[in-house]
A and B are shown apart, each in its own frame.
Chain A
Amino acid sequence: MIAELFLSGIVVWLAGAMASLALWRQPAAARRVTCGAALAGSLLDLAASAAAIFSGSPAVIGLPFGNPVFTWAVRLDPLSAYFNVTLAVLAAAVSLYSFGYLREMEGRRNLGAFGFFFNLLLLSLALVFTASNAFFFLVAWEVMALSSFFLISFEHEKEKTRNAGVLFLIMSHAGSGLMLIAFLVLASASGSLDFSSFHLLASRMPALQQGVVFLLFLFGFGVKAGLVPLHIWLPEAHPVAPSNVSALMSGIVIKTGIYGMARVFFDFYGAPPVWMGTVVLAIGVASALLGVLYALMEHDLKRLLAWHSIENIGIILMGFGAALMFRALGHGNLAALALIAALYHTFNHAMFKGLLFLGAGSVVQATHTRNMEKMGGLIRRMPVTALCFLVGAVAISGLPPLNGFVSEWLTYQALLAGFGTTQSLTRLMFPIAGSLLALTAALAAACFVKAFAIPFLALPRSAEAAEAREASFPMRAGMAVLAVGCVALGLGATWFVRVFDPITQQALGVRASSALVMARGLALSPGTAHGGTISTAGIALIFLLAGAAFAVPLAMRWSRRSVKGPVWDCGLPGLTADNEYTATAFSKPLRMIFSALYRPRREIQAEFEVSPHYPSAIRFESEIELTFEKRLYGPLRERIMAMANRMKGIQAGSINVYLAYIFITLILLLLFGVRG
């Protein structure tokens, strides 16, 4: 049953891809087919994978294609199924949204091509999460990377878009190269390419090899996940893609890196040495902190969200790192707690980041700009979008009672419990990581005060913002699905943690949910000695009661006439939208505090006509330095170019010379083969 559902999902996506390509001349039909197939495929996939999580034994499905080197088989074990559920829920909401979002592009862009790559992306994602051997995994991985590339480059007439696409492609291939090497090392150790043969294999390898494979996988998958310092493609590629694609990219495509790490760290490795967990934890902390710090300085709404993806990947990695360390130190229950926190956050991030990107897409489509400083006052013109965006903002800031709070709280609890698990100095990592996680969450909340207030509150700052129209019905529906998801995953946390039982059972041999759920499913606790207890439902109830306490008297007074008056303007009449608080001003204190990182540069030029006291125009420029781009990738690029120039010598341009290269290589290989 699971197999049939999964396969029919795949087939529907494939058919959708082909049909929309065939319909490229009829944009309206292409749009309907694209979104309809994507939605139907997602629902089928959702049904299959939700059933697979609880089905006890993993479903193995052979695909009906022949190949002598490897088998085209997928395996829906609990971990794969969990990521597939994430994919399916997000993809369903995004497809719904796309019904409305793509309408604007009808007749102006090739929706047939868009639909082809869109469905292909969903298809390849489902296969990446389920492929059961290394080669098939890599094939699916490349299809995913290429279809993402084409979707990112969809608005290819802009140079920035093309550059971002190429950067994505280069980074992605560098990552695949690392992964390929790591898989080949594993395959040569096990003699097979099947994932099942890799199970616990890495731990049987020599320590050095084990470490190298670990780092190869960490950085190979890290490119896609967007770890610092491999993150540079994210803030370039996510903003330029169409917004529904950004939602998928940020919500699920970068999660393929997380899936890969989970698969490798918790399936291929048995009990890895402590340093591996420490490295992952440290990288997680760095990604979370740097991601949010750069997000704070960003005024491009979608770029800001892209930086937050880096932050959230960092939080997920903190959970992974802690889980690995606990496992190495022999604390199975804590490892399960940290793993649950990380995977929970993965799902949550897909929900709220998808929601935020969809909201940003609605705003950008209505105002035709990504610059927050040109928006403003949208809450009156786009109330539903504003409400959904607010839900997403609250969730990503880790405020109770929404889902972001639950998973970040679980991560804290895991980190706080870590201090007592060992006597060595590594235990210091835990409180440090915990406090930096707290800082990250606080900065994220500050950032989303800005990201919500500047575009949605106050007066419109531009004519486009003043004329913005609410998003169409399918777009609102798509956002609402994800908003409901954010609320449900927050309030229903005690119910949802049971989903992780089969996963932790498989990865760590522990079923943790019964220890986590307290008070008959009303409260959540980490199950550790000095851990706290929370109840999102309880918090929500308190909020409701407190809100009612304010709202009831207000409503009773509502019958009296409310009076609207002008804002006090210090006696200078004529306050306009130009006098409003800006995003730049809002983030100024943090720019000053962290100026060692940002190295801000600003330039003020005034033009005078009559007197130096009355400038006729003032030009203000402010920018920050992107440290990694400048200090790491700048020199690296120069080095590569210099090396390429030197390599030019080999390229003689003569067929005979090229043939001679091949010939000499061949002879050497033959002789080498005979000796060996």
Chain B
Amino acid sequence: MKPFLDMQLGDRIVTLMAALVLVLQIAMVTQRWIVVHIRIFAAQSLFLAMIAATIAWFNHAPHIYAAAALTVVVKVILVPILFERLVVRMKIHEEIEPIVNVPISVVISGGLTLVGYVVAESFYRPEMPGLGHNALAVAISLFLIGFFNMINRRKALTQVLALLSLENGLFLAAISLTYGMPLIVELGIFFDVLVAAMVLGILVYRIRETFESMDVSRLRRLRG
């Protein structure tokens, strides 16, 4: 097989997966049930891992496999299990109450996707071969929508989920632009995510104990 065709095939696969990841991100915005929210996140991370694996295959960059494997272990298995247990143990009310209602949230997400494409366009160099173009736009959109989702949630746990989906955007940007950072950096990031998830889990628990609620707007009381 010629390497050029090879590359084009890879680009299509990556674009397809990236589209799925984006759809799942918007699904997260619309989702009202916390457990389903966690599972969508797991699915999104799984697709992300597949993108990473694809890039690793077409670019002959074996260390990205490790990143993909880590994504599966941490984001598809560990974090969702951790969070679902937290939901069960703390008897969290399962319905999410967003600040902005769902239809408007979807419209905003659409707008943010547009912003993502506009921004990514300015980085696009046609003479540079690669898998990056669409993936970068999707990555920026993921980041922005994740951020918006964080603003749009009242409970700490759901904000953490939004933060992790935002981090997925960063991961996608990193692998699509650089075809993999040095493995040590990747490892650091994964460790970071895991620690962040655990710390935030504990924090959520504490907030709950102190304020009898996970509603972060109660933190307003701390203001001087």
Distance between Cα atoms of A651 and B224 in the complex (Å): 10
Q: Which residues of chain A from 312 to 368 have a CB within 8 Å of any chain B CB?
A: none
Distance between Cα atoms of A652 and B153 in the complex (Å): 16
Report yes or no: B217 in contact with A674, Cβ–Cβ below 8 A: no
Q: Which range contains the number of B residues in contact with the other chain?
A: 20 to 34
Nearest-neighbour CB distance to chain B for A646, whole angstroms, equals: 15
**What residues of B have a CB within 8 angstroms of the CB of A670 in the complex?**
115, 119, 140
Main secondary structure on A side of the interface with B: helix
Is A655 an interface residue, CB under 8 A from the partner? yes
Is B13 an interface residue, CB under 8 A from the partner? no
Contact of B115 among A651, A654, A667 (CB under 8 A): A667
Q: Which residue, A654, A655, A662, has most C-beta atoms of chain B within 10 A?
A: A655
Report yes or no: B118 in contact with A654, Cβ–Cβ below 8 A: no
Distance between Cα atoms of A671 and B221 in the complex (Å): 35
Is B107 an interface residue, CB under 8 A from the partner? no
Contact of B118 among A652, A662, A671 (CB under 8 A): A671
Report yes or no: B151 in contact with A654, Cβ–Cβ below 8 A: no
Report yes or no: B119 in contact with A656, Cβ–Cβ below 8 A: no
Distance between Cα atoms of A41 and B212 in the complex (Å): 58
Distance between Cα atoms of A652 and B222 in the complex (Å): 11
Q: Which residue, A651, A667, A671, A673, has most C-beta atoms of chain B within 10 A?
A: A667
Report yes or no: A652 in contact with B220, Cβ–Cβ below 8 A: yes
Q: Which residues of chain B from 137 to 163 have a CB within 8 Å of any chain A CB?
A: 140, 144, 147-148, 150-154, 159
**What residues of B have a CB within 8 angstroms of the CB of A663 in the complex?**
144, 147-148, 151
Report yes or no: A656 in contact with B122, Cβ–Cβ below 8 A: no
Nearest-neighbour CB distance to chain B for A207, whole angstroms, equals: 36
Report yes or no: B216 in contact with A654, Cβ–Cβ below 8 A: yes
Given A659-B150, A666-B147, A674 contacting B223 (CB threshold 8 A) = no
Q: Which range contains the number of A residues in contact with the other chain?
A: 10 to 19
Nearest-neighbour CB distance to chain B for A473, whole angstroms, equals: 53
Distance between Cα atoms of A663 and B100 in the complex (Å): 15
Given A659-B150, A674-B118, A653 contacting B144 (CB threshold 8 A) = no
Distance between Cα atoms of A384 and B154 in the complex (Å): 73
Is A643 an interface residue, CB under 8 A from the partner? no
Given A653-B220, A653-B223, A654-B220, A659 contacting B147 (CB threshold 8 A) = yes
Distance between Cα atoms of A674 and B118 in the complex (Å): 8
**What residues of A have a CB within 8 angstroms of the CB of B220 in the complex?**
652-654
Distance between Cα atoms of A299 and B119 in the complex (Å): 66
Report yes or no: B118 in contact with A651, Cβ–Cβ below 8 A: no
Report yes or no: A654 in contact with B148, Cβ–Cβ below 8 A: no
**What residues of B have a CB within 8 angstroms of the CB of A660 in the complex?**
151
Report yes or no: B217 in contact with A656, Cβ–Cβ below 8 A: yes
Given A659-B150, A659-B151, A673-B122, A653 contacting B115 (CB threshold 8 A) = no
Chain A residue at smallest Cβ distance from B223: A653
**What residues of B have a CB within 8 angstroms of the CB of A659 in the complex?**
147, 150-151
Nearest-neighbour CB distance to chain A for B67, whole angstroms, equals: 23
**What residues of A have a CB within 8 angstroms of the CB of B61 in the complex?**
none
Report yes or no: B147 in contact with A656, Cβ–Cβ below 8 A: no
Is B219 an interface residue, CB under 8 A from the partner? yes
Contact of B222 among A653, A656, A666 (CB under 8 A): A653
**What residues of B have a CB within 8 angstroms of the CB of A662 in the complex?**
147
Distance between Cα atoms of A659 and B220 in the complex (Å): 14
Over the window 14-35 of chain B, the binary record of Cβ atoms lying under 8 Å from chain A Cβ atoms (1 yes, 0 no) is 0000000000000000000000
**What residues of A have a CB within 8 angstroms of the CB of B219 in the complex?**
653-655
Q: Which residues of chain A from 622 to 671 have a CB within 8 Å of any chain B CB?
A: 651-656, 659-660, 662-663, 666-667, 670-671
**What residues of B have a CB within 8 angstroms of the CB of A651 in the complex?**
223
List 22 A–B pairs whose Cβ atoms lie within 8 Å, in order of A's numbering: A652-B223, A653-B219, A653-B223, A654-B217, A655-B217, A655-B219, A656-B152, A656-B153, A659-B147, A662-B147, A663-B144, A663-B147, A667-B115, A667-B144, A670-B115, A670-B119, A670-B140, A671-B118, A671-B119, A674-B119, A674-B121, A674-B122
